[in-house]
Structure 1
Amino acid sequence: MPEGHTLHRLAGSIDAAFGESTPQVSSPQGRFADGATLLDGTELMGSWAHGKLLFVDFADERTLYVHLGLIGKWFVLPLPVPGEEPEVAGAVRLRLLSEEHVADLRGPMACQVVDPAEVSRLVGRQGPDPLQPDQDPDVAYARITGSGRSVAELLMDQTVVAGVGNIYRCEVLWRHRVHPLRPGRTLKRATWQTIWDDLVALMPWGVRTGSIITLDDVLEDVRAHLEAGDPVEVPREFAVYQRAGEPCLRCGSRVRHSVVAGRNLFWCGNCQRRT
């Protein structure tokens, strides 16, 4: 399932291609035909995300709500021939079309037209999003310390923190030496604040580059290339994620692996001992 930065980046792509315009809205597959009819011919005001939920606001207080789920994909592409609609490939639930761009949505878990009250309800069920301004980390902390579940489980719970997925979860706990199986109720407020601040700092780089960056040396290299205006390819390198049995980059001890709540968890058995 895409992590939160992917949805924020997608919202930016939709805005760049269709914002403040009136794209054609259709459902080639037919499963979203009624919703497409409601949105077709109305102005697309803007797109935004909260955690893993994507919202596209249209005129007349109509909002397209999309949750990609495990298999959903939504690509925003320039038309091969401007003004000429490309053929539909595969089961396209929703298509946005302008004179210059096309966006085809396939396989989402949710694709609905909702009103402002439903938008508020959907967002209200989520935890604070590190990629949204003016979020309150204490809301998440209260839910963390009110639970006996592990910190690793809680960080993946979207009602606790919105947008954090498995990679950010594993990496940020390593960065702050927190044992992933530590019960949430034992986490100190200062430790949670450093984790939250780190997510706030790291996740925008995922939005900007399209890649998850959690290693400081990689981040510095990417920053230097971007500031110089040079092209940059972000390496897929992590401290512990998918590195089971390999040496920890900080202490050299073996990276461990376990399945927690159905997801693969990676951590250092030595320097993540803050239980």
Structure 2
Amino acid sequence: MPEGHTVHRLARLQRRRFAGRPVAVSSPQGRFTTGAGAVDGRVLDGVDAHGKHLFQYFGPDTVVHVHLGLWGRFGNRRRPETPPRGQVRMRIVGDSHYADLRGPAACELLDDAGVAALRARLGEDPLRADADPERVRDRFARSRAPLAALLMDQSVIAGVGNVFRAETLFRTGLDPMTPARELDDDTFAALWADLSAMLRDGERRGRIETILPAHDDGPPETPARGPVCASVVYTYRRTGRPCLVCGTPIAHRAVRARNLFWCPRCQAGSTVYPLGDR
């Protein structure tokens, strides 16, 4: 499932290519025909993201909400547009580009109240300027749930998925099964700062690479990638392979039906310590 950085990058791209001008909107697949007809030919005022949710604003009480889910893609291409291929739920055509939405979990037209209700159910998004980490800190302080579970709860922190969950817990040296309420203020601040930094970097790059410079000294994976080590993540999907820092085999277990990966040695404690000190 695309994580929050992907949706924020998509929102930024669509603002640049479509916002402020009339756009043609259609539903070649036919499953969004009514919604597409309501916004076809209208000016796209803006595009916003909150966690894994995308919002296209076409005026008061006229907002297209998209959630990509597990399989959704929202490809953007230069015009002239080609005939739709596959199941295109929604097509947006602007002056110079067009975008095809395929396979989303949600594509719907909402009024302002619907948008407000949806966003009220979401937690704080580290990529948003209006994010309030104190609200997240309060939820952590009141929760017995393990960090591995709470970090994936979209009502607590919006936009975090399996990759960022595993990687931020490794980079901050936290045992994934530590109850959230056991974190002190400094440890929580370090976790929030690291997660925010990784999401921002992912949004900027358009991909997830979590290896810190101190460990980015392996051979290039491909000539085009430059000097990056063979792995671009520390733990995610590296079950049984040696930890890049200490050599311990990476462990795996399911937590609330989602795969978790961690290093039993580097993450043995419940306090943050720098990667360089391991």
Per the normalisation by structure 2, the TM-score is 0.89
Deviation at residue 122 of structure 1 after TM alignment? 1.1
CA distance in 2, matches of 1:124, 1:252: 43
Aligned to 2:221: none
Aligned to 2:154: 158
**Structure 1 residues 219-264: Cα deviation after superposition (integer angstroms, max 9, x where no partner):** 989xxxxxxxxx8669551111111222222222221111111111
Aligned to 1:250: 245
Aligned to 2:178: 182
Aligned to 1:211: 207
CA distance in 1, matches of 2:88, 2:241: 42
Deviation at residue 213 of structure 1 after TM alignment? 2.2
CA distance in 1, matches of 2:83, 2:232: 38
Structure 1: tracts of 5 or more residues without a match = 222-230
SS of 1:157's equivalent in the other structure is coil
SS of 1:259's equivalent in the other structure is strand
Evaluate the alpha carbon distance shift between residue 150 and residue 132 of structure 1 in structure 2; reply closer, same or farther with a 3 A threshold: same
CA distance in 2, matches of 1:2, 1:233: 25
Pairing of 1:1-275 with structure 2 (within 5 A)? 1-79=1-79, 81=80, 85-217=81-213, 237-275=232-270
Aligned to 2:275: none
**Is the Cα–Cα contact under 8 Å of residues 213 and 219 in structure 1 kept in the other structure?**
no
Deviation at residue 100 of structure 1 after TM alignment? 2.1
Evaluate the alpha carbon distance shift between residue 210 and residue 234 of structure 1 in structure 2; reply closer, same or farther with a 3 A threshold: farther
Evaluate the alpha carbon distance shift between residue 172 and residue 232 of structure 1 in structure 2; reply closer, same or farther with a 3 A threshold: same
What amino acid is aligned across from residue 203 of structure 2 in structure 1? V
What amino acid is aligned across from residue 250 of structure 1 in structure 2? V
Bigger mean CA offset, 2-11 vs 108-117: 108-117
SS of 2:31's equivalent in the other structure is coil
**Is the Cα–Cα contact under 8 Å of residues 247 and 254 in structure 1 kept in the other structure?**
yes
CA distance in 2, matches of 1:219, 1:248: 11
4+ runs deviating over 3 angstroms: 218-221, 231-236
What amino acid is aligned across from residue 190 of structure 2 in structure 1? T
**Is the Cα–Cα contact under 8 Å of residues 49 and 55 in structure 1 kept in the other structure?**
yes
CA distance in 2, matches of 1:50, 1:217: 29
Q: Identity over aligned residues, as a percent?
A: 44
Aligned to 1:224: none
**Is the Cα–Cα contact under 8 Å of residues 211 and 234 in structure 1 kept in the other structure?**
no
SS of 1:117's equivalent in the other structure is helix
SS of 1:44's equivalent in the other structure is coil
CA distance in 2, matches of 1:95, 1:218: 44
Structure 2: tracts of 5 or more residues without a match = 218-223, 271-278
SS of 1:247's equivalent in the other structure is coil
**Structure 1 residues 134-155: Cα deviation after superposition (integer angstroms, max 9, x where no partner):** 3111211222232222100110
Deviation at residue 71 of structure 1 after TM alignment? 1.1
Q: Between Structure 1 and Structure 2, how many residues are aligned?
A: 262
